[in-house]
Amino acid sequence: MVAVADVFAPARLGPVELRNRVIKAATFEGMTPHALVTDDLIAYHLRPARGGVGMTTVAYCAVSPEGRTDRHQIWMRPEAVPGLRRLTDAVHAEGAAVCAQIAHAGPVANAASNRLPALAPTRRPSPLSMRMTKAASASDLQWITRARAQAAVFAREAGFDAVELHFGHNYLVSSFLSPRLNKRADEFGGSLANRARPARDIARAVRDAVGGQLAITAKLNMDDGVPGGFWLDESIQVAQWLEADGSVDALELTAGSSLLNPMYLFTGDAPIREFAAVFPQPLRAGIQLAGGRFLRSYPYQEAYLLDRARQFRAALTLPLILLGGITRKQTMDLAMAEGFTFVALARALLREPDLIRRMQADPAVRSLCIHCNKCLPTIYRGTHCVLAAPGET
């Protein structure tokens, strides 16, 4: 009989020893107004580090200026390294590891904010900037691959223990994987092998750049949640290719499209009124009137990605990170029993950054997060739980 791992015991992620198997998932913090680290960003990651997680993930570290969802996000460059080093040193002092999510937003980038064209597999209108995206050329993809590798080198210089490659949510790599978004007829379109080429090339380039000095994870969509999008059968094959390539140390399994169906990832209430309130007119009226078509409501249940993730567990030996509405120690134990190596939490830790320490003291503790999702619109003014008392988070 195989012994079930203890979620609160130390575990290895590639070359890194984590103090436990709980990861603070990447959630955009909205605390980098000049595309550089701030004291607020450091404080944001110190809270879950002090609260007991094994590792916290800094989001969103773009690999280039046009790869940001808006111009206020960090992009990896020499000027960013000193601030990132302050952040990693502070987190390490609390006994936690720290990961940098390195990404290119692709068609999810706001070209109007970035003042640069958004790149996509094929030219299409962007609802985010009300402009047309630019079809990425083969040379564009080559330099983005190099930029991703260089971003990992910057992360190593800044003291990060790991990097997470964002291959989900219809960001650039995910948009190439999607049959709905990728209508190309060249070596990056058509067959799954062609559509997966950017993902595999980037993962290999990052591995070549940092070797075994950093843990490398990839956040991979299991499905896009839209008709004609990337689906489980293709995603499992891509995961198997990444495993065979030996380019990543673990996969974090996710779902949904920030471009076409964002609430598919989060489930729970769709905070249309709250989203509308952060935008000026006439956008506010438009969101109030038609926001339900984009921000769809899905019923929340504990560990709502588990059924899909089980299919990946059965098909792979690679370590997997289970994400999606985990609020109880019993659910973490279930993930361990089913062969997942780590669990990732986001909203629950936003509500209670000390949740893990409290669960270690009392396994019956359950998160107070009710998945109202009213935290989502706060990304425009500093991500926080609106239900937490002042100073609580």
Domains of the chain, by residue range, sit at 11-253+304-371
pLDDT range class, residue 293, cuts 50, 70, 90: confident
d(CA 329, CA 363): 6
Mean pLDDT of 56-74: 95
- Per-residue confidence at 391, pLDDT binned at 50, 70, 90? low
Show Cβ contacts of residue 19 under 8 Å, excluding neighbours closer than 6 positions: 10, 54, 95, 96, 97
What architecture is domain 11-253+304-371? Alpha-Beta Barrel (3.20)
Q: Comparing 2-6, 172-176, 351-355, which segment has the lowest mean pLDDT?
A: 2-6
Distance between CA atoms of residues 178 and 199, nearest Å: 12
Residue 2 has a pLDDT of 66
Give the DSSP H/E element, type plus range, for residue 228. none
CB 114 within 8 A of CB 70: yes
Cα 199 vs. chain centroid, distance in angstroms?
Answer: 15
Q: What is the mean pLDDT of the chain?
A: 95
The per-residue pLDDT for range 21-62, each reduced to its tens digit, is 999 999 999 999 999 999 999 999 999 999 999 999 999 899
Q: Confidence band (pLDDT; 50, 70, 90) for 325?
A: very high
The H or E element containing residue 332 is: helix 329-337
Q: Is 124 exposed, middle or buried (0-12, 13-18, 19+ CB in 10 A)?
A: middle
- The residues annotated as belonging to the active site are 171
DSSP alpha helices (H): ranges in 182-328? 192-195, 197-210, 232-245, 263-266, 272-277, 283-294, 306-315
Contact 354, 362 (CB under 8 A): no
